[in-house]
């Protein structure tokens, strides 16, 4: 099955928002062995939309359309889809009642222009949207199956999983079944990752894909077989082989298993807690930790001590230590980690202090230099890294390295420097 993903909206072409819907939809189509051959984006322009619909129908078996289902004058998807194939726009009364009820739940009266969201091309099958006002539709024209979905990611994700995929599964019939997953790694560059896995997962019907999502690199094993059971077994064997080869470089599976989520789960399972003292990361480490539901069970708190005076006043770092070694140093990082662990009563204390740039460096301490320290019990160790990235990426990789150190400590593994940067203990 050849597929096209078509996203609609002026804001996409102007670069105002990142078009994440394309990657999500393409990823989901992997699970039903649909090959995405084209990604297209068009303006909210009737002529361009007609052209895009016709081109898609001429070359694809399946077209997933995102956007243009709202109530405003520039939301044209249903009307243009109907016009393209000379279909009438038909009002669905049940959808209209559902829209009115949606607004009533919030004590509001539905605006008149929302009624257009109950209009669909003749012959459509309506796809309910339980969390928004934009229902979707399925329409088959000239041998091509169109699915129109909202552009709002949260609504699109639910509609794709609950409405679109089950319909496609039912239509697919016999043939090869595809299963795929995502293995998340930290600490090895993409080319080195490929080289490490050169002789791994070479079973017939199994393939590996690679992509970078800084500061991580992802491996996507994919398995094809005659049945779901066989495909899943092949996929599991591939994942086991990859994890055996890479060891703790692999920290999670799937789109949702972030490093902070993995660290949170391990802390919870072991009954441990963590506290953070941040300088160069400016609260980013704490923000990532608290983004995980249930973090109150294992996160004691954090101190953002950016200025030297804050390190002294809030964490008790000796002023003489800062004067002698500088704020960006192993002794100061260790003092910060020890102090925050003791003051907040945590099992782990983690600290970051560095130079994220673009200014502030010197020959002795260049931009990109950072010290991370982890205190556990009476032990404390600081490690020096040089992350040669711009400011946002420097902060991102610093927090990732700090979280990875805690993860490895909980697993009984030695902390290691990411192999694509310079670092020494």
User: Residues spanned by CATH 3.40.980.10 within the chain?
Assistant: 2-173
Share of the chain above pLDDT 90, in %: 82
CATH superfamily of 2-173: MoaB/Mog-like domain (3.40.980.10)
Classified by CATH at the fold level, domain 178-253 comes out as Alpha-Beta Plaits (3.30.70)
pLDDT at 322: 98
Contact 344, 275 (CB under 8 A): yes
What whole-number distance in Å separates Cα of residue 332 and Cα of residue 280? 13
- The whole-number pLDDT of residue 174 equals 55
Residue 421 in this model has a pLDDT that exceeds 90: no
Please tell me whether the peptide bond between 215 and the residue prior to it is cis, using omega within 30 degrees of 0. Answer: yes
pLDDT, one tens digit per residue, over 107-136 is 999 999 999 999 999 999 999 998 999 999
In the chain, CATH 3.90.950.20 covers: 259-424
Domain with CATH 3.30.70.2860 in the chain: 178-253
Cα separation, 101 vs 79, whole angstroms: 24
Architecture of domain 259-424: Alpha-Beta Complex (3.90)
Closest by alpha carbon to 128, among 112, 149, 113? Answer: 149
Query: Could you tell me the sign of the dihedral formed by the alpha carbons of 315, 318, 323, 324, in that order?
Result: negative
Distance CA 95, CA 75 (A): 17
254: DSSP letter: T
Asked whether residue 91 carries a pLDDT value surpassing 70, the answer given is yes
Mean pLDDT (the chain) is 93
Mean pLDDT confidence for 76-97? 96
Q: Is 9 exposed, middle or buried (0-12, 13-18, 19+ CB in 10 A)?
A: buried
Query: What is the band of 420 on the pLDDT scale with cuts at 50, 70, 90?
Result: low
User: What whole-number distance in Å separates Cα of residue 337 and Cα of residue 406?
Assistant: 12
Q: How many residues does the chain have?
A: 425
Q: What pTM value is reported for the model?
A: 0.79
pLDDT tens digits for range 201-218: 788 999 898 888 899 999
Report the distance separating Cα 143 and Cα 169, nearest Å: 17
State the Cα–Cα distance between residues 386 and 374, nearest whole angstrom. 18
Tokens of 118: 């109950």
């Amino acid at each position: 099955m050849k597929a096209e993903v078509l996203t609609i909206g002026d804001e996409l072409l102007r670069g105002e928002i990142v078009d994440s819907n394309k990657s999500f939809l393409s990823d989901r189509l992997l699970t039903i062995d649909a090959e995405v051959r084209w990604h297209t984006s068009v303006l909210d322009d009737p002529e361009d939309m007609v052209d895009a619909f016709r081109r898609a129908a001429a070359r694809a078996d399946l077209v997933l359309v995102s956007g243009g289902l709202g109530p405003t004058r520039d939301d044209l998807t249903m009307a243009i889809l109907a016009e393209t194939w000379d279909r009438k726009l038909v009002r669905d009364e049940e959808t209209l009642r559902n829209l009115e009820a949606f607004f009533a739940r919030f004590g509001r009266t539905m605006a008149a222009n929302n009624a257009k969201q109950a209009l669909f091309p003749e012959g459509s099958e309506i796809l309910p949207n339980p969390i928004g006002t934009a229902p979707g539709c399925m329409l088959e024209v000239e041998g091509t199956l169109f699915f129109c979905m909202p552009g709002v990611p949260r609504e699109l994700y639910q509609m794709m999983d609950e409405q679109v995929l089950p319909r496609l599964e039912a239509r697919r019939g016999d043939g090869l079944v595809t299963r795929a997953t995502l293995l998340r790694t930290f600490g090895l560059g993409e080319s080195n990752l490929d080289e490490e896995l050169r002789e791994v997962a070479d079973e017939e019907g199994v393939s590996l894909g690679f992509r970078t999502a800084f500061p991580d690199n992802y491996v996507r094993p994919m398995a094809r077989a005659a049945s779901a059971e066989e495909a899943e077994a092949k996929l599991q064997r591939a994942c086991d082989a990859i994890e055996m080869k890479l060891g703790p470089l692999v920290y999670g599976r799937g789109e949702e298993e972030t490093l902070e989520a993995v660290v949170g789960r391990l802390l919870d399972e072991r009954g441990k807690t963590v506290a953070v003292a941040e300088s160069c990361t400016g609260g980013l480490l704490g923000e990532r930790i608290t983004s995980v539901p249930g973090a109150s069970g294992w996160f004691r708190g954090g101190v953002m001590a950016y200025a030297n005076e804050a390190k002294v006043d809030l964490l008790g770092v000796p002023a003489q230590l800062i004067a002698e070694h500088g704020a960006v140093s192993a002794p100061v990082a260790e003092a910060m980690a020890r102090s925050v662990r003791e003051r907040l009563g945590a099992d782990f204390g983690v600290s970051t202090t560095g130079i994220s740039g673009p200014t502030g460096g010197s020959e002795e301490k260049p931009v990109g230099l950072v010290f991370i320290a982890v205190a556990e019990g009476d032990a404390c160790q600081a490690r020096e890294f040089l992350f040669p990235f711009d400011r946002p990426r420097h902060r991102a990789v610093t927090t990732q390295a700090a979280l990875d150190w805690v993860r490895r400590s909980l697993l009984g593994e030695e902390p290691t420097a990411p192999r694509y940067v310079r670092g020494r203990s």
